[in-house]
């Protein structure tokens, strides 16, 4: 059994702790948590983004490293699709608010999701929700432009990739597709997708799933209370951080 006191997203922040042993313990915890329930980490990503955005001492690189670790555990197509919906809605809800840092982390999260060609129309359906942020901020715009780059060599969906790159560009002199042109592009994409799926499948350059954690220091502080529980406690603000993360010998559901 895994018992958790506090938020998992609070634990994720410790991926950037100054102590290497703490960082390794958190990585091990996330790996084992995912092996027991592959929805737990997926469900905490939105809250983790909020927490990271509030950390004034965190650099962009710090936030990216934490998000990259979490996103590796989002592997199911349905999880990716739902997360795209939620993250695009999150960006839309941030319009008119002082949430630039949160928006940047959200955009980065979208850019590194293990998106396949079938998720691309879904991302484009939400275009109006993040359009203003693309036009406002270079970092956000580059994050979104990184998505079609993964599929640049895939000629089977070239029309859709061209549409994405055009819409993700802020250059006002560029020709953006009209609604009729966009509809024609979508119809051609769907036709090409059906044509090629049965023949060979359409492959993009995708981010590889996370590999199992290796070489983690096993000489950890072990405390056995006889019931095989693993307890993660982020509510304790004491100086001894090791007490926030205890790993027991036997973990079972």
78-134 per-position pLDDT tens digit: 999 999 999 999 999 998 888 999 999 999 999 999 999 889 999 999 999 999 999
> How many domains are contained in the chain?
1
Residue 185 has pLDDT above 70, yes or no: no
The answer to whether position 146 is within a domain reads: yes
What is the residue range of 23's domain?
Answer: 2-246
The answer to whether position 251 is within a domain reads: no
pTM to 2 decimals? 0.66
The answer to whether position 252 is within a domain reads: no
Are 177 and 163 contacting, i.e. CB atoms less than 8 angstroms apart? yes
- Tokens describing residue 100: 């630039």
The answer to whether position 32 is within a domain reads: yes
Position 153 scores a pLDDT of: 85
Are 73 and 83 contacting, i.e. CB atoms less than 8 angstroms apart? no
Q: What is the rounded average pLDDT for all residues in the chain?
A: 74
The answer to whether position 240 is within a domain reads: yes
| 84 Cβ contact partners less than 8 Å away, ≥ 6 residues apart | 110, 113, 115, 119, 122, 123, 126
Are 29 and 65 contacting, i.e. CB atoms less than 8 angstroms apart? no
Which string of b and e fits 113-124 if b means at least 16 CB within 10 Å? bbbbbebbeebb
Model pLDDT for residues 150-169, shown as the tens digit of each residue: 898 888 888 899 989 999 98
Model pLDDT for residues 215-234, shown as the tens digit of each residue: 334 333 334 444 443 444 44
């Amino acid at each position: 059994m895994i018992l958790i006191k506090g938020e998992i997203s609070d634990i994720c922040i410790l991926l950037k702790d100054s102590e290497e042993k703490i960082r390794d313990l958190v990585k091990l915890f996330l790996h084992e948590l995912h092996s027991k329930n592959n929805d737990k980490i997926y469900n905490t990503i939105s809250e983790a983004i909020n927490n990271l955005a509030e950390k004034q001492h965190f650099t962009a690189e710090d936030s990216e490293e934490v998000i990259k670790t979490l996103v590796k555990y989002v592997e199911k197509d349905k999880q990716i699709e739902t997360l795209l919906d939620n993250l695009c809605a999150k960006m839309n809800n941030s319009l008119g608010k002082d949430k630039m840092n949160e928006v940047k982390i959200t955009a980065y999260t979208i850019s590194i999701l293990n998106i396949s060609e079938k998720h691309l129309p879904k991302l484009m359906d939400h275009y109006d929700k993040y359009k203003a942020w693309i036009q406002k901020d270079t970092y956000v715009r580059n994050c979104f432009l990184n998505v079609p780059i993964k599929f640049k060599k895939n000629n089977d969906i070239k029309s859709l990739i061209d549409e994405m790159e055009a819409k993700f560009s802020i250059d006002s002199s560029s020709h953006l597709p009209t609604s009729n042109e966009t509809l024609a592009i979508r119809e051609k994409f769907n036709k090409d997708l059906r044509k090629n799926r049965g023949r060979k499948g359409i492959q993009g350059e995708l981010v590889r799933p996370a590999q199992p954690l290796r070489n983690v220091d096993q000489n950890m502080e072990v405390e056995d209370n006889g019931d095989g529980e693993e307890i993660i406690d982020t509510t304790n603000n004491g100086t001894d951080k090791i007490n926030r993360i205890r790993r027991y010998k036997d973990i079972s559901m």
